[in-house]
Chains A and B, each alone.
Chain A
Amino acid sequence: MADLDPVTLSRIQFALTAMYHFLFVPLTLGLSFLLAIMESIWVMTGRAIWRDMTKFWGKLFGINFAMGVATGITMEFQFGTNWAYFSHFVGDIFGAPLALEGLTAFFLESTFVGLFFFGWDRLSRLGHLTVTWLVAFGSNLSAVWILIANAWMQNPVGSAFNPDSMRMELTSLAEAIFNPVAQAKFVHTVSAGYVTGAVFVLAISSWYLLRGRDLAFAKRSFAVASAFGMASALSVVVLGDESGYLATEHQKMKIAAMEGMWETEPAPAGFSIVGWPDEEAQETRFAVKVPFMLGLIATRSIDEELPGIKELVAHAETRIRSGLVAYDAVQRLRQDPGDAAAREAFTRHRDDFGYALLLRKVVADPLRADDAAIAEAAWLTVPGVWPLFWSFRVMVALGFYFILLFGVALYFSTVRRFDRRWFQRLALYSLPLPWVAAELGWFVAEYGRQPWTIEGVLPTFLSGSNIAAGYVWFSLAGFAVFYTALLVIDVFLMVKYARKGPGRLAEPPAGEERRAGAQALVTPE
């Protein structure tokens, strides 16, 4: 444990801080829209209970939002502190969406969020509603940019390696922005956020229903959450499927590993519902398969073959050999930038340059690698199969569970049956599940990208900063302690304010509307 290298420690730190940040982001995405919907109903109907709902869920939103902002800065700093070579290598492309995120989304969200909380008395109804929508729009827009950046790591389009500056440079921002992976990822991720927001509201409303308190408030919240949740749950699964389809095109190894599919199977391949991937023996034991299903999902055809892990490793070997030509050319260009033959050779093989870099893990000088070294480097392209296989399956199962959950919730709220205690208990206990699904989804996407930080371009082990492990231990330990303390406080406040409930939001009466609102809270339907 103590002899972990700085890159491994930085990966642990990045995973820890990103997954921690991602506890708050999905709820911000989902709740901001739910707030905007509730406030829209307040403005359209003038019924004060909807304004009180907006304010109450807004309190919980505020606690969560503070945590999201607090932990977000860490992410931006870490690329530079712990991944300096990555930053140098891809900043030309990767930095752009990050800067655009600050410019177009964070300013919008953060400037108006203050007015959301403190502008109730200072703005007209319509004015405040506009502010709420702008906050929701801003937080979702930030997801657009960060997922464009992330999608570029999975499918690095619109860029090429420049041997003169020793880095990847932009060739087309439009290609990076309209990266098909980015679009599927964006809708999949924000939908997951909407599901999280909807489960959050559904679960807490169910708790009020179970307790028989704040009924008018809880029923309305329950109804809004179930409708919004149903649409989102469908979207998350459909777009998750789209992500899988695109991964088949761009990250075949990720798909094969997620499926524990070692050998190429005749099309259309079967889907293993469960199984036990054995990485030593390179096979998946006890697989229970649904015939044809994987082939249909992943290729949307019945005759297209899906390559297995072993075939993909053989393919990686070819790319390493091709990449070595580019690698050799880069060494020659460093000696003499005017070497036209080297430049020509580089241009022909530049797409495989990253594969030659994999050899640096195996031998000191890739140009002296023998067949055994190349074979070993090719096997590095296989991510851990077991964790991917299972994370993916649990996430998908949860996705279908949410459709079921919201389907039933929508039915009960449509027929106005708010007395189904078994379902309210189920909804309450489902509270942690969207977070489990979101974290697993993040894990599948990023762990499945290994051994690359940029798929096919830059291996993870070369991406770090040249810093001593001791410093990373220092920051990692600091985060572990600090973040744990903050999480305890966050949960404590969330529970405190959820328990306090909307009826006891101690606000002094402010005119007629307020009294009407309080009336609506105590009068049953």
Chain B
Amino acid sequence: MLDYETLRVLWWLLLGLVLIGFAVMDGFDLGVAILLPWVARDDTERRIVINSIGPVWDGNQVWLILGGGAAFAAWPPLYATAFSGFYVALFLVLAALILRPVGFDFRNKVDDVRWRRVWDTALFTAGFVPTLVFGVAFGNLLQGVPFHFDDELRVTYTGDFLLHLLNPFALLTGLLSLAMLIMHGAVYLIIKTEGAIEARARRALAFGAPLTAVLFSVCGLWIAFGIDGYVVVEGAARDAASNPLAKAVVREPGAWLANYRGQPWMLIAPALGYVGAAGAYLLVRAGRPGLAFVGSAASVFGIVSTAGLSMFPFLMPSSTDPRSSLTVWDSSSSQLTLFIMLIASVVVLPIVASYTVFVYRVLRGKITSHDIAERGPSLY
């Protein structure tokens, strides 16, 4: 069996991988749903947009489910603290996510303008709300969240459940999340559609890609000069039993940049955020939308990794009782669980990736108004 410290780092990477998997894979269909009201003007166009993601969004969303499952299995205190602390916000996300499957499946089942408008709104909401809230959640993690543990490790969240979370910095990260997925979704639509929808998606990209870069920069400056990071000053051994209370933590200005000073190679992550966004924009102009998708995916990868790397080893810092903060070294599952789950992930994820590629290959090609007319009733 691998040693406990290594397993904890690997599981930090794996949780990051799964969350980025969610942001990249479900990200583009959330982005497409956000773009739905702007890129499609009539029922046929809306159906083209919806069917461009119709067969694949469900598989993509499993990355989110797996993210929850991975947090539960590998980082139980993180799962318990984040989910109970963000109670109201998560139920809003949940309500939005519940609208997705039914929105896709039910919309075309009744031929009525009002009925379809209801589900169009539902699909837009189901893209917009989770994208915003997950961005806001990252903004709050970076600032620290008000919670503490008692000595039985029962967690209590002491902030209010919604208004506190919607602070200016968190709203900024929420906007970044929206811009990022608008960019990513726009590239996907450029690949999957033609004509007027594609032209509008190009305009959305010309708006989303630069906006992503600008908001990412503002977030970076704010973190550098406006937000105190967290530092573990005295911790238990990195292979000790998980108990967040066995350490001391202080807040320091600029601490979230310390990792980049110590390990300059980590700057690849923010660089990728910019290069990917620029690449997405330029490659679409150069007539290479497939490669542009790799670019926007790389940008998403870079931006999410930047947040994770800045905080390492913190997963969820506590603003009111810093020693209760959850770190990679004190909030994991047991060594045995991490090891078994690592093996399972290493075996299964490549299989998942390969059949996912197969499905996308089968479904390749643009969705057109001809498809809607020809295969209408069997589509969404």
Taking beta carbons and an 8 Å cutoff, which residues of A are in contact with B? Answer: 55, 62-63, 65-67, 69-71, 73-74, 76-77, 79-82, 84-85, 87-88, 90-96, 98-104, 106-108, 110-115, 117-123, 162, 164-167, 169-171, 173, 334, 465-467, 471, 474-475, 478, 482, 486, 489-490, 493, 496-497, 505-508
B334 touches A162 (CB 8 A): yes
Known A87-B76, A169-B337; judge A63-B87 contact (CB<8 A).
Answer: no
Task: Determine if A114 and B241 form an interchain contact, defined as CB atoms under 8 angstroms apart.
Answer: no
> Are B157's CB and A467's CB within 8 A?
yes
Count, A-B residue pairs, CB within 8 A: 257
Per the 8 Å Cβ criterion, residues 20-66 of B in contact with A are 51, 54-56, 58-59, 61-62, 64-66
Chain B contacts of A107 at CB under 8 A? 59, 62, 66, 352, 356
A117: which of B55, B100, B152, B153 is its contact (CB, 8 Å)?
B55
**CA of A121 to CA of B99 in the docked complex: distance in angstroms?**
28
Contact A111 B87 (CB under 8 A): no
Which of B66, B94, B240 is A77 in contact with, Cβ under 8 Å? B94
Q: Can you spell out 13 A-B residue pairs with CB atoms less than 8 angstroms apart? A: A70-B97, A70-B99, A85-B154, A87-B72, A92-B334, A93-B337, A95-B69, A96-B341, A100-B341, A112-B359, A118-B54, A478-B91, A482-B98
Q: Which residues of B contact A (CB under 8 A)?
A: 51, 54-56, 58-59, 61-62, 64-66, 68-70, 72-74, 76-77, 79-84, 87-88, 90-91, 94-95, 97-102, 104-106, 109-110, 151-157, 161, 240-243, 333-334, 336-337, 340-341, 344-345, 348-349, 352, 355-356, 359, 362-363, 374-375, 377-379
On whether the beta carbons of B109 and A486 are closer than 8 Å, the reply is: no
CB distance from A364 to the nearest CB of B (A): 14
**Complex CA distance for A334 and B152, rounded to whole angstroms:** 9
- Nearest-neighbor residue (CB-CB) of A117 within chain B: B55
Contact across chains for B334 and A169 when beta carbons are under 8 A apart = yes
Complex: how many Å from CA A165 to CA B70? 19
| Closest-CB distance, A208 to chain B (whole angstroms) | 20
Contact B80 A164, beta carbon cutoff 8 Å:
no
Residue of B59, B91, B151, B156 touching A475 (CB-CB under 8 A): B91
Contact among B64, B73, B154 with A95 in the assembled complex (CB-CB below 8 Å) = B73
State whether A80 and B83 are in contact (beta carbons under 8 Å apart), knowing that A69-B101, A98-B72 are contacts in the complex: yes
- Which B residues are in CB contact (< 8 Å) with A55? 378
Q: B195 CB to closest chain A CB, in angstroms? A: 21
> What's the Cα separation between A88 and B80 when bound, in Å?
6
Q: Is B241 a contact of A465 with CB atoms below 8 Å? A: no
Please name all residues of chain A whose beta carbon is closer than 8 Å to the beta carbon of B68 when the two chains form the complex.
Answer: 76-77, 80, 102
Report B-chain residues with C-beta under 8 Å of the C-beta of A79. Answer: 72, 79, 83
Q: In the complex, which residues of chain A have a beta carbon less than 8 angstroms from the beta carbon of B379?
A: 118
| B53 to chain A: closest residue by CB | A114
| A95 contacts B333, C-beta separation under 8 Å | yes
The complex places the Cα of A120 from the Cα of B55 at a distance, in Å, of 12
